[in-house]
């Protein structure tokens, strides 16, 4: 069944090529298609395009379809083009001509658009919840290990003292910035395109404000052409948000891989959370974080893939846009899997104590000693020279004292303030 059927079938090769994996991907949209149809027919009844007696019958039939979705029984049958066709086919089988009325004032264009908007809105909420779980884990570890010192690096060279509290807390606050991107994508998705039809509106007196309210959208895509132009734009915004979170997570995964290796030895995980070598019996490999790093690097390519897919498309709908689902659907799933896996692994992390007792880290304290001299009255440049010459002569002996008190430093992590920042962003999702 095809909603555009006019008495002929396309060549099988053409159909297979143009439909691709769309039927499988559409299964993720079916609950939203039913939700959108319910709002649409309520609106149709309010403007006289459905009899008042027909509305409850159609709503009950759609509710039965919704229940079949929840039970995992809904399928798109062989020969049915997409989710929209399958839902309408099921209604028509059960209700006859009454089932055919639900498409009045709609095109597949705005039907899939509303499905995608509802889907992306929920997906951004799901990402936000996964980010918050990892954020909470990182903050908890930051507080627990706030006094455990570790080396800080610049240019991969030993630089200044850091702490595990500072390290974990840095990634927690970075996730706050990433979540601002997710919130922006959520806001772009949270607009109602229903009623834009094929992109040029309808001669029916549709009540688009009513469907906006019923579907709990924040606002309308008012201009019907702009509504159709949002196909691709919504996905691109989501892709940039996904890439932002993935960038932070990928960088953290790289740190973990470094800090687990024997040359660092700062952290470890239980044997059953690592993998081994088929030839080297001593190996404990960080495969989870290597796979996470690789997945996150791939996710950072998603905005470019979407941008290239949509770059030269003129006004209106084009079938190229169907391929967006191939890109964005797996991306949200992969990101949430990575976030949840990172949270799980960090639940079992072990931190090495007294790392800085090792003489290789003596030079970490040169800046501390320069600052100590400066606070005692020695001009900074002179203090810098004194410590620098002692290093050059091999006579430098560190005091190994760290006194950092300003906001966001080793001794004053401000994790409570960072949590406040996170909560301000979460409000934007309506949690």
- Structure confidence by residue, pLDDT tens digits, 254-303: 999 999 999 999 999 998 988 876 787 777 888 999 999 999 999 999 99
Tens-place pLDDT, residues 145-203: 999 999 999 999 999 999 999 999 999 999 999 999 999 999 999 999 999 999 999 99
Tens-place pLDDT, residues 345-366: 999 999 999 999 999 999 999 9
Do 117 and 257 lie in a common domain? yes
Residue corresponding to tokens 């430098």:
396
Do 244 and 367 lie in a common domain? no
Which is more confident, 308 or 10? Answer: 308
Helices (H), 83-223: 83-95, 97-100, 108-144, 164-189, 208-214
Do 187 and 59 lie in a common domain? no
CA 261 to chain centre: 29
Residue 20: pLDDT over 70 = no
* Whole-number pLDDT of residue 123: 98
Q: Is the pTM of this model over 0.85?
A: yes
N-terminal to C-terminal alpha carbon distance within the chain: 40
Do 180 and 307 lie in a common domain? yes
Q: Report CA-CA distances (Å) from 133 to 127, 130, 180, 300.
A: 10, 5, 16, 21
- How large is the average pLDDT for residues 199-215? 97
Instruction: Note down the domain range covering 21.
Output: 12-103
Reduced to 3 states (helix: H, G, I; strand: E, B; else coil), residue 200 is coil
CA distance linking residue 176 with residue 106, whole number of Å: 39
Confidence of residue 4 (pLDDT cuts 50, 70, 90): very low
DSSP category for residue 194? T
Do 119 and 28 lie in a common domain? no
Residue 225: pLDDT over 70 = yes
Residue 400 belongs to some domain of the structure:
no
* Whole-number pLDDT of residue 401: 86
Do 18 and 93 lie in a common domain? yes
Residue corresponding to tokens 């627990």:
144
Residue 18: pLDDT over 90 = no
Residue 111: pLDDT over 90 = yes
Reduced to 3 states (helix: H, G, I; strand: E, B; else coil), residue 55 is helix
Do 88 and 187 lie in a common domain? no
CA distance linking residue 56 with residue 313, whole number of Å: 41
- How large is the average pLDDT for residues 235-251? 98
């Amino acid at each position: 069944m095809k909603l555009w059927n006019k008495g002929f079938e396309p060549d099988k090769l053409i159909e297979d090529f143009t439909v691709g994996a769309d039927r499988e991907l559409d299964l993720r949209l079916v609950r939203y298609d039913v939700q959108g149809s319910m709002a649409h027919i309520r609106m149709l009844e309010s403007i006289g395009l459905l009899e008042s007696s027909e509305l409850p019958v159609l709503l009950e039939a759609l509710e039965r379809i919704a229940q079949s979705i929840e039970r995992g029984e809904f399928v798109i049958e062989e020969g049915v083009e997409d989710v929209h066709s399958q839902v309408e086919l099921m209604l028509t089988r059960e209700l006859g001509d009454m089932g055919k009325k639900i498409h009045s004032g709609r095109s597949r264009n705005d039907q899939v658009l509303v499905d995608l908007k509802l889907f992306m809105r929920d997906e951004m909420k799901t990402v936000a919840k996964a980010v918050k779980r990892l954020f909470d884990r990182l903050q908890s570890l930051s507080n627990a290990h706030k006094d455990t010192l570790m080396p800080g690096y610049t240019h991969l060279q030993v630089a200044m003292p850091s702490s595990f509290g500072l390290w974990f807390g840095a990634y927690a606050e970075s996730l706050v910035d990433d979540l601002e991107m997710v919130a922006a994508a959520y806001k772009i998705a949270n607009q109602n395109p229903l009623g834009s039809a094929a992109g040029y509106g309808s001669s029916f007196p549709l009540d688009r404000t009513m469907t906006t309210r019923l579907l709990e959208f924040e606002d309308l895509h008012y201009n019907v052409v702009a509504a159709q132009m949002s196909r691709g734009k919504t996905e691109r915004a989501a892709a940039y948000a996904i890439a932002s979170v993935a960038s932070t997570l990928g960088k953290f995964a790289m740190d973990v891989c470094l800090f687990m290796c024997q040359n660092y030895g700062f952290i470890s995980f239980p044997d059953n959370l690592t993998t081994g070598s088929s030839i080297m019996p001593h190996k404990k490999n960080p495969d989870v974080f290597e796979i996470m790093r690789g997945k996150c690097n791939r996710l950072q390519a998603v905005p470019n893939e979407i941008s290239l897919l949509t770059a030269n498309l003129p006004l209106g709908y084009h079938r190229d846009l169907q391929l967006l689902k191939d890109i964005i659907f797996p991306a949200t799933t992969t990101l949430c899997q990575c976030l949840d896996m990172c949270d799980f692994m960090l639940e079992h992390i072990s931190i090495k104590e007294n790392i800085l007792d090792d003489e290789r880290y003596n030079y970490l304290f040169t800046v501390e000693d320069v600052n100590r001299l400066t606070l005692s009255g020695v001009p900074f440049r002179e203090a810098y020279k004194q410590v620098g010459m002692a290093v050059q002569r091999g006579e430098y002996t560190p005091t190994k004292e760290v006194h950092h008190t300003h906001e966001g430093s080793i001794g004053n992590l401000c994790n409570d303030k960072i949590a406040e920042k996170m909560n301000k962003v979460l409000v934007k999702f309506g949690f």
